[in-house]
A and B are shown apart, each in its own frame.
Chain A
Amino acid sequence: MDRVVADGGAEGGVDAEAALAVVPAGALAPGGVLLPMAGAWERPADGPAAFTPAFPPVAGSTYVLLWRGDGTGAWVPLARATAPGTPAPRTTRVLAVEPDVEEVPENLLRFSLLFSAPVDEGGAGAHVDLRTADGAPLPGALLPMPPELWDRPRRRLTVLLDPGRVKRGLQPHVQAGPPLPRGTDVTLSVGEDVRDAAGARLAAGAARTYRVGPPVRARVDPARWALSWPATPGDELAVTFGRPLERTLVQRCLRAVDADGRAVPGAAVASAAAWRFTPTPGAPAVRCLHVHPDLEDLAGNSVRHVFDRDLAEPADDPVATAGVVLHPDGRVVVRPPAEPSAGPAPDDGRARVLPPG
């Protein structure tokens, strides 16, 4: 239904906009206000008037055509119509609840939800819930405000725990404590009433339970990782982190680099715990591993900064760096800041696929 056509009772010379209006049915219900829908009326000299709404009608919603004679006085309902459209099938699922770990630190900064299809923006946050394992709510643990933090395809939603309560230096932390109770289990759930981009609810909700462990307050230090370098070119490079890291940043921030400083083409598998890289057959040999300093762990500590740095603690001092380079001989090179990168630009998140050979 793109247009409403009103035929009959031609009021010669009466302006269609003054005499006719279309409204959604809710405007006539208690709590509603009657305001003509935005749109354009056409009123040819003979023939039916036609109304094209400024915005698409909502499938399944009812609209009412109103008339008020000479353009003043009360509106009178003339007809109702329901916009056609079958409800979209419920096919969208929750593919993953992240982080993909069993235990999270008490100062966990965020959860993420990965959906199988694009999701409608603006309403999902209301259906995400954090509770203790007993089902008791944890009020104020999740940051409630808009805007929602989505990736570009709107399939991955990041939900923050209230940073005001995570950060040690703020009133909310002092008054309400950290969002997650240490030593207990918490369950993050997403309800099936989340709408996908087609307007359908999810096929099912999802939930994941985590144990809450001690807080993590230290920089991400690549020097502490366990690396297994390929024995022969073409073998896998395996990296195991000292503690769980933020998976999407692992994908973005680690790069196997060849002798010319270019990214080695291959297949990478990233998780919170590890990164495994297999070069494509015939690719140049892996010479070193580049780590971009934006890499964060689950508590928001990065290579450069502790999330909430204790100014009295020298170990918390930030490290100014453009990145860390790990070599097979065990050398760890911390590149100075703003050094022109000989390799791929690390910050734009684009891993170039280079032709082999």
Chain B
Amino acid sequence: MSDLTAENGSPTPQSAGPLLFHPDVAADGGAVLFLADVAATRVLAVELPPEAAAPAQAEVRVEQLGAKLASLLGVERDDVLLRGLAVHPASHAAYLSVARGRGPASAPALVRAGTDGELSVVAVDALPTTTFDLDDAPAADDTRQDFWLDGTDATSQVREIHGIELQVAQVPLRRSTITGLAWVDGALLVAGSSNEEFSSRLRRVPYPFDGSAQGTSVEIFHVDHGAYETHAPIRSLIGFDGGSSVLATYTCTPVVHFPVADLTGDGLVRGRTVAELGPMNQPFSLVSYERDGEEFLLVSGTRHPLLKIPASSVAGQPPLTQPLSQDATALGVPREELDHPGVTWMASLERDSVLVVQEADGDLHLRTLAAAQL
């Protein structure tokens, strides 16, 4: 595993994870990109060099994205895994977080796809970067050794502590895997799941990073059809309704809605289920877009098809309380299935267009879907 800090002192990511742009753009087109480094359990904020504004109605299109990434990154097709997607707020270039290679050759890569269709690698370690460590990450300079005294662990070793020999093993170091980033109500929301207990780890982190995170005591629940209440790790989330609410997907199937005010307090927060997907289909990505002046929500799943939900019905949707039924169509807000098979990653390009990663013909493709097609 490489050192966390490159020679110029800038922290380098150890792994590829979700991406998100800070919504503000400097006058010269400079933007800040948040990268989730799952292996290091930290979020990096990278100041990208200025980019020129995109022409109106700019599209991003890269056919055979998988094959091109493999060649660009010097690996076979199977050794390229997409882990995040975000759109530059000024130039509308697509930024891709890619896990490249296996074993000793593995590395995270940040790849830019311009509106001209050209792919290039972004050298993150050459850019000004600040970091935020999630609170269960041990500090790099923490010289304390935390032990569990357990002679039976295969990795335990004999250590001498104050003249006594003890068989010690290290406390299993749990890890929060970062699954989603969102910018809501002026702060960064970081969602993740622990590998040990089944609960949400949702943090609200101010930027510029000042070492603090708020709202860590929020526990996320949902009520299913008025009958059962469960813990629900959030997988991904977006701001909605002009920033006054949040739409999120859970590790199980529902898509839920929270007022932002709920996420800044303490205690329990119960998301209101607005849609449920069927078995063996987990929600993957959420975006909102506008068509003919009306806002819609688009939900992609690990299986097809793409779902389209009018935003107005999300706001007015009472919690799903009707009894469960075998009929999969009676599942909350009115929704429409769209004929765009194989869509997984999605990001907003303009208000009336959506950037998607679509599987087709044995490869991945980066395509722009206009609102008129949705």
| Interface contact A350-B362, CB-CB below 8 Å | no
Q: Does B312 sit within 8 A of A, measured CB to CB? A: no
| Interface contact B175-A152, CB-CB below 8 Å | yes
| Interface contact A168-B228, CB-CB below 8 Å | yes
- Taking CB atoms, residues of chain B closer than 8 Å to A153 are 173
Q: Does B252 sit within 8 A of A, measured CB to CB? A: yes
Q: How far is the CA of A81 from the CA of B362 in the complex (A)?
A: 28
Q: How far is the CA of A106 from the CA of B211 in the complex (A)?
A: 43
Q: How far is the CA of A198 from the CA of B1 in the complex (A)?
A: 10
List A residues 10-56 near B (Cβ within 8 Å): 22-24, 26-27, 31-38, 53-56
Known: A300-B198, A348-B136. A309 touches B229 (CB 8 A): yes
Among A122, A150, A168, A265, contact of B99 (Cβ-Cβ < 8 Å): A122
| Interface contact A109-B198, CB-CB below 8 Å | yes
- Taking CB atoms, residues of chain B closer than 8 Å to A26 are 70-71, 76-77
- Taking CB atoms, residues of chain A closer than 8 Å to B147 are 351, 353
Contact with A along B216-251 (1 / 0, CB 8 A): 000000011111111100010000000000000001
- Taking CB atoms, residues of chain A closer than 8 Å to B225 are 169
Contact with A along B156-200 (1 / 0, CB 8 A): 000001101011100111110111000000000000011111110
Contact with B along A135-158 (1 / 0, CB 8 A): 000011001111111111110101
| Interface contact B326-A151, CB-CB below 8 Å | no
Name the segment of B101-109, B333-341, B348-356 touching the other chain.
B101-109
Known: A248-B172, A350-B171, A353-B161. A156 touches B195 (CB 8 A): yes
List A residues 164-195 near B (Cβ within 8 Å): 164-165, 167-172, 174-176, 195
Among A37, A269, A351, contact of B171 (Cβ-Cβ < 8 Å): A351
Known: A151-B174, A169-B324. A58 touches B121 (CB 8 A): no
| Interface contact A307-B230, CB-CB below 8 Å | yes
Task: Give the interface size class of chain A.
Answer: 35 or more
| Interface contact B119-A35, CB-CB below 8 Å | yes
Contact with A along B62-97 (1 / 0, CB 8 A): 001001101111111101010100000000000000
Q: Does B55 sit within 8 A of A, measured CB to CB? A: no
Q: Does B207 sit within 8 A of A, measured CB to CB? A: no
Q: How far is the CA of A32 from the CA of B76 in the complex (A)?
A: 9
Q: How far is the CA of A296 from the CA of B116 in the complex (A)?
A: 52
| Interface contact A248-B196, CB-CB below 8 Å | yes
Known: A31-B67, A55-B101. A351 touches B146 (CB 8 A): yes
| Interface contact A152-B174, CB-CB below 8 Å | yes
- Taking CB atoms, residues of chain A closer than 8 Å to B145 are 353
| Interface contact A171-B73, CB-CB below 8 Å | no
- Taking CB atoms, residues of chain B closer than 8 Å to A63 are 74
| Interface contact B251-A160, CB-CB below 8 Å | yes
Among B68, B279, B324, contact of A164 (Cβ-Cβ < 8 Å): B279
- Taking CB atoms, residues of chain A closer than 8 Å to B229 are 308-309, 311
Q: Does A214 sit within 8 A of B, measured CB to CB? A: no
Known: A27-B71, A38-B73, A352-B146. A172 touches B103 (CB 8 A): no
Known: A151-B175, A351-B146. A356 touches B164 (CB 8 A): yes
Q: How far is the CA of A24 from the CA of B80 in the complex (A)?
A: 13
- Taking CB atoms, residues of chain B closer than 8 Å to A53 are 74
**What is the number of residues of chain B that contact chain A, defined by CB distance less than 8 Å?**
94
| Interface contact A164-B252, CB-CB below 8 Å | yes
Would you give the shortest CB distance from A67 to chain B, in whole angstroms? 16
Q: How far is the CA of A175 from the CA of B107 in the complex (A)?
A: 41
Among A156, A175, A268, contact of B150 (Cβ-Cβ < 8 Å): A268
| Interface contact B72-A37, CB-CB below 8 Å | yes
Known: A26-B77, A88-B103, A144-B302. A38 touches B72 (CB 8 A): yes
Q: How far is the CA of A268 from the CA of B119 in the complex (A)?
A: 54
- Taking CB atoms, residues of chain A closer than 8 Å to B12 are none
- Taking CB atoms, residues of chain A closer than 8 Å to B193 are 149
| Interface contact B279-A158, CB-CB below 8 Å | no
Q: Does A57 sit within 8 A of B, measured CB to CB? A: yes
Q: Does A203 sit within 8 A of B, measured CB to CB? A: no
- Taking CB atoms, residues of chain B closer than 8 Å to A33 are 64, 67-68, 71
Known: A54-B121, A175-B278, A351-B148. A197 touches B251 (CB 8 A): no
| Interface contact B362-A268, CB-CB below 8 Å | no
List A residues 110-134 near B (Cβ within 8 Å): 110, 116, 120-123
Q: From B111, which residue of chain A is reached at the shortest CB distance?
A: A38
- Taking CB atoms, residues of chain B closer than 8 Å to A281 are 164
Q: How far is the CA of A141 from the CA of B145 in the complex (A)?
A: 39
Q: How far is the CA of A280 from the CA of B163 in the complex (A)?
A: 12
Q: Does A321 sit within 8 A of B, measured CB to CB? A: no
| Interface contact B146-A31, CB-CB below 8 Å | no
| Interface contact B279-A267, CB-CB below 8 Å | no
Q: How far is the CA of A121 from the CA of B79 in the complex (A)?
A: 12
Q: From B161, which residue of chain A is reached at the shortest CB distance?
A: A353
Would you give the shortest CB distance from A250 to chain B, in whole angstroms? 11
21 cross-chain CB contacts under 8 A: A26-B77, A38-B73, A54-B74, A56-B104, A58-B101, A122-B81, A144-B282, A145-B282, A146-B81, A147-B179, A152-B41, A164-B282, A172-B253, A176-B279, A195-B103, A199-B102, A199-B104, A309-B228, A311-B228, A350-B171, A353-B145
Other CB < 8 Å A-B pairs besides A143-B251, A152-B173, A281-B164, 19 of them? Answer: A27-B67, A38-B120, A54-B121, A55-B109, A120-B106, A147-B177, A149-B194, A154-B39, A169-B225, A170-B254, A172-B280, A174-B324, A176-B280, A199-B102, A280-B149, A307-B230, A308-B229, A349-B171, A349-B173
The 7 lowest CB-CB distance pairs between A and B, nearest first, are: A169-B224, A199-B103, A169-B228, A152-B173, A172-B279, A176-B279, A27-B71
